[in-house]
């Protein structure tokens, strides 16, 4: 029951109506008997939103597109890993001081390590946005070797330089790329454009591990085509849940009910599997 002692948590972004974070976190709060509620706010003005977090005493916040970089300007402290990545997706309010963290790379690494090792593996990352930045950083930290593949040469080169990765260009030569792990960090293949894929199936090899951070649909066209030829696949649910697990445990100080969190997200998406 919501009462005067209920702690408030939120996700802020634009858009945010599609987010499954409220469903996942509220289910987890309820399961462990934690008196809290998690809601979604569509935010355009990040500066005023942060002022609101302080004024209302919101205990923790998930930050999503397009605010992960801009939000850093308004926080009191930022974790070293988040500074190196250059993006924050998690805020905790510690007695009025707002601390920023990045759980995206943690979620991605946990999801990958369930299926394969990372150390000394050649990893090809499609995209050069905030997710690519976090995931690339995490893989390099784990001892993997990263190559960025991106349509925009300038953006791809800048990301590669920032995190110590290689950059592959032009895209017409993509059939010459060899990698152990392929990761799509773009929104290509997401509902409603489920027939699109960021990587032609003719360039897939059955020895590859293929990961897609898109989680709606759970099995994107990229993952389906990879699975059909025998690749090991990693869907976006695992990364999404594991980054949420980090947030939950940071905010509450309690162990997250991982299986419950994963189950409720999968059940919500099962019509798109």
- Residue 18 is classified by DSSP as T
Contact 103, 79 (CB under 8 A): no
Whether 68 is catalytic is yes
For the chain, the maximum distance between any two Cα atoms, rounded to a whole number of angstroms, is 61
Residue 110, both tokens: 């946990």
Continuous segment of H or E residues that includes residue 53: helix 46-56
Phi, psi angles (nearest 5°) of residue 166: -95, 160
CA 226 to chain centre: 21
From residue 87, give the alpha-carbon distance in Å to each of 47, 102, 131, 207, 250.
Answer: 16, 7, 9, 32, 17
Peptide bond into 200 cis (omega under 30): no
- Residue tagged active-site, from 68, 121, 145, 262: 68
Side-chain-side CA neighbours of 200 within 13 Å: the count stands at 9
- Residue 254 is classified by DSSP as S
Question: What is the C-alpha separation between 125 and 118, in angstroms, rounded?
Answer: 13
Contact 229, 201 (CB under 8 A): yes
For the chain, the residue count is 273
Contact 38, 26 (CB under 8 A): yes
**Active site residues per annotation:** 68
């Amino acid at each position: 029951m919501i009462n005067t002692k209920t702690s408030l948590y939120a996700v802020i972004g634009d858009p945010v109506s599609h987010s499954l974070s409220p469903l996942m976190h509220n289910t987890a709060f309820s399961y462990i008997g934690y008196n809290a509620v998690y809601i979604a706010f569509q935010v355009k003005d990040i500066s005023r939103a942060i002022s609101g977090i302080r004024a209302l005493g919101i205990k923790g916040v998930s930050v999503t597109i397009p605010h992960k970089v801009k939000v850093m300007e308004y926080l009191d402290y930022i974790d070293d890993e988040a500074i190196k990545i250059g993006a924050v997706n998690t805020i905790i309010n510690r007695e009025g001081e707002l601390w920023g963290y990045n759980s995206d790379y943690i979620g991605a690494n946990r999801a990958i390590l369930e299926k394969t090792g990372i150390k000394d593996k050649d990893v090809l990352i499609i995209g050069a946005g905030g997710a690519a930045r976090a995931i690339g950083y995490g893989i390099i930290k784990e001892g993997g070797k990263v190559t960025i593949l991106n349509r925009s040469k300038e953006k791809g080169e800048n990301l590669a330089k920032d995190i110590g990765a290689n950059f592959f260009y032009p895209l017409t030569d993509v059939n010459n790329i060899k990698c152990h792990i392929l990761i799509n960090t773009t929104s290509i293949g997401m509902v409603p454009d489920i027939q699109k894929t960021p990587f032609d199936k003719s360039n897939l090899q059955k020895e590859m591990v293929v990961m897609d951070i898109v989680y709606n649909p759970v099995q994107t066209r990229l993952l389906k085509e990879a699975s059909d030829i025998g690749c090991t696949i990693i869907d976006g649910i695992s990364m999404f849940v594991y980054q949420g697990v980090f947030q939950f445990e940071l905010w509450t100080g309690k162990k997250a009910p991982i299986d419950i969190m994963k189950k409720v997200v999968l059940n919500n998406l099962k019509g798109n599997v």
